[in-house]
Amino acid sequence: MSFTIRPLATGLPRFGSRVLLANAARRAPLTSVRGYTTSGGSTKKSSNNTLLFLGLAALGGAGGYYYHNSQQGVKVLDSSNKKKEIDYNQVYKDIAEILEDNDYDDGSYGPVLLRLAWHASGTYDKDTKTGGSNGATMRFEPEATHGANNGLKVARDLLEQIHAKYPEISYGDLWTLAGVCAIQELGGPTIPWRPGRQDAMTAESCTPDGRLPDAAQKEKHARDIFYRMGFNDQEIVALVGGHALGRCHPDRSGFDGPWIESPTVFSNEYFKALTERKWIKKELPNGGWQYVDKANPDVMMLPIELAMYQDKEFKKYFDEYAKDEAKFFEDFSKAFKKLTELGVPFKGDEKVYVFQKTTE
Ligand code: HEM
């Protein structure tokens, strides 16, 4: 894949100039809210569903391999008795190829692919062992239309061309691999990844609305949501560093703008911005509000992020990652791998892939 690399030697690149910043321009500054829905929280998973998964697993064990023919809406048994080998390194390269698009947002689909991987995974509930990237239940209503998932159709649709080329890959594997690819290709740490997610066949497996965080809430809400997945304070702060990438869209979340001036470069600039700048409240047309940087109101922070920074326990990690990018990369890689593996029924003998960045 060839990214347009523009060394931004002087000044700020224009905000929203569709310039794609790649690794070489990592430190270059560039200069859109989601009130996630909050109803519900825990789910009683249909026992039919469990039975379906168990049934499929048994079939897999017996050598058969089911896949879903979405065109005809039927389940098909592949009697070849052998699951076709998937070249995951090539899948990675093919995703890397389609990341750049100068007509989309800031020039890359990477951020929205990362958000897809996180929202597919972040529904996990460790107590009921439901949700997570296994199943890829966001393919179905009602999960596809949960308020928190606004805008993610862009990412799901984009990946259909990859799925068409590799029909044997599960959507859960494809979406998480795409998240890994986005992080790595936009300059982030390498993230070991392994296959093993199985697609759910019906909407019964959808998680209830309200499992993803609501940006308008406070630090307690962040803890409630991420503790439910099994994360600690340090892992939560590392993961939120994903906001180095991308932006908020008024028509998706209601918030508006990127967190930093280089929204297509994975770095610890998000932490530097949060901890070093003066953030002031700004009213939004939808009646909500967000923070903007006093010196550059084009960049923003969500209400929950400043609330988290005011919490003593969370604060120490925000400060640490602002000072030490290597530590942030190391911790983010571990936490993101954990996130994308929550609830996945690995057999234990899966090959772990460390994909090589196409930019190196
Ligand atoms: C307290 C936790 C979090 C909250 C409240 C939150 C909230 C939001 C909101 C409101 C948006 C804007 C959506 C839009 O309008 O398009 C967003 C975007 C995004 N989030 Fe988060 N998020 C959280 C955690 C995370 C985590 C853990 C990651 C990844 C590791 C992540 C990655 C992203 C990315 C990459 C975008 C940009 C998407 C794009 O540019 O299209 N977020 N988030």
Name the E strands within the chain. Answer: 65-69, 74-78, 247-248, 257-258, 279-283, 289-293, 300-301
The reply to whether 282 falls in a domain is yes
pLDDT value at 339 more than 90: yes
pLDDT value at 125 more than 70: yes
> Catalytic one among 118, 175, 193, 259?
259
Reference 319, options 215, 223, 231, 233; nearest CA is 233
Model-level pTM? Answer: 0.83
- In this predicted model, what pLDDT tens digit does every residue of 14-49 receive, in sequence order? 333 333 343 333 333 333 333 333 333 333 333 344
pLDDT value at 63 more than 70: no
The CATH number covering residue 302 comes to: 1.10.420.10
Which of 50-64, 69-83, 256-270 is predicted most confidently? 256-270
Mean pLDDT, range 57-74, rounded to an integer: 38
Q: Closest ligand 1 atom to the C-alpha of 32? A: 15
Residue 83: pLDDT band (50, 70, 90) is low
* Residue 249 a catalytic site member: no
Question: Cα dist. 227→36, 127, 238, 331 in Å?
Answer: 17, 11, 14, 17
The reply to whether 111 falls in a domain is no
- Give backbone dihedrals phi and psi of 85, rounded to 5 degrees, phi first: -65, 135
The reply to whether 213 falls in a domain is no
- In this predicted model, what pLDDT tens digit does every residue of 256-277 receive, in sequence order? 999 999 999 999 999 999 999 9
Question: DSSP string spanning 305-346?
Answer: HHHHHTSHHHHHHHHHHHH-HHHHHHHHHHHHHHHHHTT---
Identify which has the larger pLDDT, 74 or 218: 218
Reference 242, options 265, 220, 219; nearest CA is 265
The reply to whether 167 falls in a domain is no
- Give backbone dihedrals phi and psi of 322, rounded to 5 degrees, phi first: -65, -35
Residue 344: pLDDT band (50, 70, 90) is very high
The reply to whether 262 falls in a domain is yes
Q: What pLDDT sits at residue 82?
A: 54
The residue whose C-alpha atom lies closest to atom 2 belonging to ligand 1 is: 213
- How many whole angstroms separate alpha carbon 323 and alpha carbon 317? 10
Residue 286 is part of which domain span?
219-335
Reference 18, options 258, 280, 296, 311; nearest CA is 258
The reply to whether 255 falls in a domain is yes
Verify whether ligand 1 is closer than 6 Å to residue 246 (CB atom).
yes
CA of 260 to the centre of ligand 1 (A): 13
The reply to whether 264 falls in a domain is yes
- Written as six digits, the tokens of 273 are 């911005």
* Residue 259 a catalytic site member: yes
Verify whether ligand 1 is closer than 6 Å to residue 68 (CB atom).
no
CA of 278 to the centre of ligand 1 (A): 21
Domains of the chain: total? 1
- How many whole angstroms separate alpha carbon 263 and alpha carbon 251? 18
pLDDT value at 345 more than 80: yes
The reply to whether 109 falls in a domain is no
